[in-house]
Amino acid sequence: MPELPEVETVVRDLRELLVGKQFAAIRCVRRDLRKPWNVDWNAILVGETVESIRRRGKWIVMHLTSSQELLFHLGMTGQLTVTKADAAILDHTHLLFDLANTDQQLRFRDIRRFGSATLFANAEAVEVFIGKTLGSEPFELTDKAFHTSVTATKRNLKAILLDQHVVAGVGNIYADEALFRAKLHPGKLGCDMTLAECKRLRKAIVEVLNHAIENRGSSIRNYVGGSGLKGGFQNEFRVYGRTGEPCPRCETPIEMVRLAQRSSHYCPQCQRAE
């Protein structure tokens, strides 16, 4: 699933390619997304211009001239890219947005169909919708607030980091990488964390995410940025997906355990269980 660095990369690419562009026509090729596209939106969106694009957690928000907003979620395999209008339409492409006075289209493709694209009346409606499930952005989260959230639960650290109410945008890959950087075992309970450990983990989260954004995210399966380019952070993984390989710090073989119904990769020497 695309996580914060991948979504941020898509947003940055699309800003360069879409802001100031007008929708000339919209076509729904297939509606079988997690939330079906409302075909009535096609006519509503014609003539709208993209004024800005932002990210909130793992969501992509396009603000339009009428103050309406398009909200996209990439699900597990979603791709939101700008391409030539005469390029072949790939299988599993759901939406085509023709861009006025250009030879380009914005295309939304999703192989596994867990993604979504929804039109909202305004920014307030978007915040009401996604604000119910999202906590603070990791770059805005304070040590004190993070410590309060972490120590209030008996869940393990992996489960806590995957909880979007605690920190928005972090998923399986970057949770593993942040815990390794912070030298904390993924199974450690939140209620057992000290303030110093929480500070170390919060800092590690930010550092890992920033490093991943610099590398355009991680392309493991289907992810590409808004311009169609792949990411490179998969070449920087320290523990994720490296079961049995030597730890980059101590050369102890990386291990994997199931936590919060997800695989968790860690070094048993650098991230000792207490």
Active site residues: 2-3, 58, 262
> For 163, how many CA atoms within 13 A lie in the half-sphere containing its CB?
15
Strand residues in 85-201 grouped as ranges (E): 93-99, 104-110, 116-120
Integer angstrom CA distances of residue 263 from 61, 161, 259, 266, 272:
30, 13, 6, 10, 17
Provide φ and ψ at 186, rounded to 5°: -65, -20
Q: Are 18 and 50 in contact (CB under 8 A)?
A: yes
Integer angstrom CA distances of residue 107 from 27, 40, 206, 273:
10, 18, 31, 46
SS3 assignment, position 157 = helix
Identify the DSSP state of 238: S
Burial 26-46 (b: 16+ CB within 10 A, else e): bebeeeebeeebeeebbeebe
